[in-house]
Amino acid sequence: MAQDKQDTKFAGLRAAVERSKGRTLKDLFAADPERFDRYHVALGDVVFDYSKHRVDEDVLHALFDLARAQKLEEKRDRMFTGGVVNPTESRAALHTALRAPQGASVTVDGQDVMPEVLSVRAKVAAFARGVRDGSIKGATGRELTDVVNIGIGGSDLGPAMAARALAPFGHPRIRTHFVSNVDGADIGDTLKGLDPATTLFIVASKTFTTQETMTNARSARDWLAGKLGDDAVPHHFAAVSTALDLVGKFGISEDRVFGFKDWVGGRYSVWSSIGLSVVIQIGPEHFADFLAGGHEVDTHFRQTPLESNIPVLMGLIGVLYRNAWSFATQAVIPYDQRLGRFPAYLQQLDMESNGKHVHVDGTRVQEATGPVVWGEPGTNGQHAFFQLLHQGTEVVPIDFLVAAEPTDADLHHHELLVANCFAQSQALMVGRSEAEVEAVMTKAGAKPEAIAAVKAHKQFDGNRPTSTFLYRKLDPKMLGRLIAFYEHRVFTMAAIWDTNPFDQWGVELGKELANKLAPIVSDAAASLDGLDGSTAGLVEHRRALIGT
Ligand code: F6P
């Protein structure tokens, strides 16, 4: 039954895709000189170019019909107005309220959440200002110079990605560091370069129970207390969490604890007090611009017709490739070195949200859901994995991101960066036929035998789809926009699949088993009874390797 239902859902789209086959992107551009004009959307100083996708009017109509049939607009409005869109945790998902401006009102369970959002925002800003202007000092009276965010997943990736992206907006005295992995090398290497007297640790954890974060936080506390004494600890720690009781037990004083609500998912939390390290780095005013960028996209997503709605187009194109073309992965390639952590950030945002195998009602999905998301900055990727993108047997839809001008870097370098970005999307689209290879080689004086030997290798099919985001420059507002575009893309795709993008039960089993295995790994005498053969074998071999 479910199979029938799913087949019907995508039938119109698949029929339109069948009709579109046989015309390459090159053909589509040749037939329609206005194609770029029709298939790009501008929002402020951002341009989203989707003209190099395998879409025509027929395919787009099928996608918009699908979106309407799956009630995308109603689902979107429910999210923005505090509906329980995360039913497995009985929660709203209101990260959008975190970037709403003064004067907005967002109601959950009959209560306006905005007064509390604004009051936490003000508390974060006041603390950040104190660290930045030196009025908040360490225990020995010295100004703080290093901020170490200890968190993992959404409590790490957002701030770490944003801190790197917005480095040019940073305070000259303050460096930010991010410790996430339970691997002791992470905190160990970070502490090596730090002076305890001038270091502030932020323990960022929604639940304040996450094994990695709590282990790292305890190690940091021991290190600091060992160097400066127990009394120094409150001067050098702050916390961000929804679990205020647990934070108190850790020994962080109340005035340094910044809360947020359970309706903010971890991977959607950079806008909340989880962004504290970034606020300290770039200052509350720049952080306000970041929030404003997110809010601008929220307004666009809520108010713009589907046909020219950027996140909707991104999501529907994603569904097209996943469910009609069966492409398994999606690459995001920022031609922007400072967006180096953006693909990793998106991996959590997209794959933790859309890596789902059941519908909202618990029935098993019969169709593909979230793609594998991956990427690295260009131009580096060109000299690594682009070979496969151009000539491999997998088609990988790509999002290119590039600024029109550098934030603070050399203009000549930037022009080469832009040229490379545009050239890659061009090459992926147009390809190069054997006849073209032959013509180029003949002109260069190659012999017919030499041409025959390599022409198949030098040929490119082309017709490989890409989007390009072209923005004026990477600043706080632009970063806010970019993140919100992708958040709403993820939401759009989940709405079509009728899956819940706000829970993450798939990470629980591994956590549970790691907690059970931890005492067995630490105690050489612990019994292996009940373990599966492979796990028992690995534990035994490790014991042998370390001689226990
Ligand atoms: O890995 C699962 C997860 O729950 C993520 O969703 C979350 O961002 C991360 O762990 C960290 O959780 P917390 O902020 O509670 O420490």
Asked if the bond preceding 468 is cis, omega within 30° of 0, the reply is no
Assigned token pair, 505: 């039960």
Q: 263-300, pLDDT tens digit by residue? A: 999 999 999 999 999 999 999 999 999 999 999 999 99
From the CB of 272, is ligand 1 less than 6 Å away?
no
From the CB of 266, is ligand 1 less than 6 Å away?
yes
Residue 482 included in any domain: yes
């956590």: which residue's tokens? 511
Q: 318-377, pLDDT tens digit by residue? A: 999 999 999 999 999 999 999 999 999 999 999 999 999 999 999 999 999 999 999 999
According to the model, what pLDDT value does residue 244 have? 86
Residue nearest to atom 2 of ligand 1 (CA): 507
From the CB of 334, is ligand 1 less than 6 Å away?
no
Residue ranges of E strands in 404-509: 466-471
What is the dihedral sign for C-alpha 218, 152, 90, 238? positive
Mutation test of ligand 1: which of 240, 504, 509 has the most ligand atoms closer than 8 Å to its C-beta? Answer: 504
CATH number at residue 518: 1.10.1390
Q: 47-64, pLDDT tens digit by residue? A: 999 999 999 999 999 999
pLDDT grade, residue 548 (50/70/90)? confident
Q: Read off the amino acid at residue 146.
A: D
Distance CA 139, CA 474 (A): 37
**CB neighbour list of residue 367: distance below 8 Å, 6 or more residues apart:** 6, 9, 10, 323, 497
- Ligand 1 mean position, distance from CA 280 (Å): 22
- Ligand 1 mean position, distance from CA 204 (Å): 10
This model of the complex carries an ipTM of 0.98
Same domain, 280 and 357: no
Same domain, 319 and 440: yes
Number of domains making up the chain: 3
According to the model, what pLDDT value does residue 2 have? 46
Same domain, 377 and 329: yes
Q: Which of 447, 511, 516, 541 is catalytic?
A: 511
According to the model, what pLDDT value does residue 1 have? 42
**Average pLDDT of the chain to the nearest whole number:** 97
Q: Which of 296, 352, 376, 487 is catalytic?
A: 352
Side-chain-side CA neighbours of 326 within 13 Å: the count stands at: 3
- Ligand 1 mean position, distance from CA 373 (Å): 19
Same domain, 105 and 209: yes
**Is 89 considered catalytic here?**
no
Distance CA 259, CA 262 (A): 10
Same domain, 396 and 461: yes
State which ligand 1 atom lies nearest to the alpha carbon of 155.
14
Residue 386 included in any domain: yes
Q: What is the largest CA-CA distance in the chain?
A: 82
Residue after which a domain boundary falls, among 223, 254, 288: 288
Asked if the bond preceding 379 is cis, omega within 30° of 0, the reply is yes
Which is it for strands 466-471 and 398-403: parallel, antiparallel or unpaired? parallel
Q: 476-488, pLDDT tens digit by residue? A: 999 999 999 999 9
3-state DSSP percent of the chain in helix, strand and coil, to 5: 55, 10, 30
For residues 485 and 311, the answer to whether their CB atoms sit within 8 Å is yes
- Ligand 1 mean position, distance from CA 152 (Å): 6
Secondary structure (3-state) at 502 = coil
Side-chain-side CA neighbours of 363 within 13 Å: the count stands at: 11
Residue after which a domain boundary falls, among 259, 288, 317: 288
Which residue range(s) make up the domain with 482?
3-87+290-497
From the CB of 504, is ligand 1 less than 6 Å away?
yes
Same domain, 516 and 483: no
pLDDT at 129 exceeding the cut of 70:
yes
pLDDT at 509 exceeding the cut of 60:
yes
pLDDT at 4 exceeding the cut of 60:
no
Element (H, E) at 353: helix 353-354
From the CB of 514, is ligand 1 less than 6 Å away?
no
Residue 502 included in any domain: no
From the CB of 155, is ligand 1 less than 6 Å away?
yes
From the CB of 207, is ligand 1 less than 6 Å away?
yes
Distance CA 477, CA 407 (A): 13
**Is 487 considered catalytic here?**
no
Residue 255 dihedral angles phi and psi, to the nearest 5°: -70, -10
For residues 502 and 89, the answer to whether their CB atoms sit within 8 Å is yes
- Ligand 1 mean position, distance from CA 230 (Å): 29
**Is 383 considered catalytic here?**
yes
From the CB of 212, is ligand 1 less than 6 Å away?
no
Residue after which a domain boundary falls, among 288, 307, 335: 288
Residue of 343, 342, 423, 341 lying closest to 382 (CA atoms): 423
pLDDT at 452 exceeding the cut of 50:
yes
State which ligand 1 atom lies nearest to the alpha carbon of 352.
6
Residue 114 included in any domain: yes
- Ligand 1 mean position, distance from CA 358 (Å): 21
Mutation test of ligand 1: which of 202, 205, 210 has the most ligand atoms closer than 8 Å to its C-beta? Answer: 210
Residue nearest to atom 10 of ligand 1 (CA): 153
From the CB of 138, is ligand 1 less than 6 Å away?
no
Angle at 375 between CA 369 and CA 377, to 5 degrees: 155
Residue nearest to atom 3 of ligand 1 (CA): 153
pLDDT grade, residue 251 (50/70/90)? confident
CATH number at residue 222: 3.40.50.10490
For residues 263 and 92, the answer to whether their CB atoms sit within 8 Å is yes
Same domain, 388 and 465: yes
- Ligand 1 mean position, distance from CA 179 (Å): 14
Q: What is the mean pLDDT of residues 397-403?
A: 98
Residue 536 included in any domain: yes
Q: Which of 249, 383, 443, 457 is catalytic?
A: 383
Same domain, 475 and 518: no
Same domain, 138 and 25: no
String of b and e for 58-80 (b: at least 16 CB within 10 Å)? ebbebbbebbeebebbebbebbb
Same domain, 475 and 327: yes
State the Cα torsion 23-27-29-34 to the nearest 10°.
-80
Same domain, 261 and 117: yes
Mutation test of ligand 1: which of 178, 207, 246 has the most ligand atoms closer than 8 Å to its C-beta? Answer: 207
According to the model, what pLDDT value does residue 7 have? 63
Residue nearest to atom 4 of ligand 1 (CA): 266
From the CB of 152, is ligand 1 less than 6 Å away?
yes
Same domain, 315 and 212: no
Q: What is the mean pLDDT of residues 492-505?
A: 98
Residue 456 included in any domain: yes
State which ligand 1 atom lies nearest to the alpha carbon of 269.
8
Q: What is the mean pLDDT of residues 520-541?
A: 97
Distance CA 321, CA 306 (A): 18
Residue 256 included in any domain: yes
Residue 17 included in any domain: yes
According to the model, what pLDDT value does residue 109 have? 87
- Ligand 1 mean position, distance from CA 133 (Å): 32
For residues 469 and 48, the answer to whether their CB atoms sit within 8 Å is yes
Distance CA 220, CA 201 (A): 8
For residues 273 and 259, the answer to whether their CB atoms sit within 8 Å is yes
Q: What is the mean pLDDT of residues 106-111?
A: 91
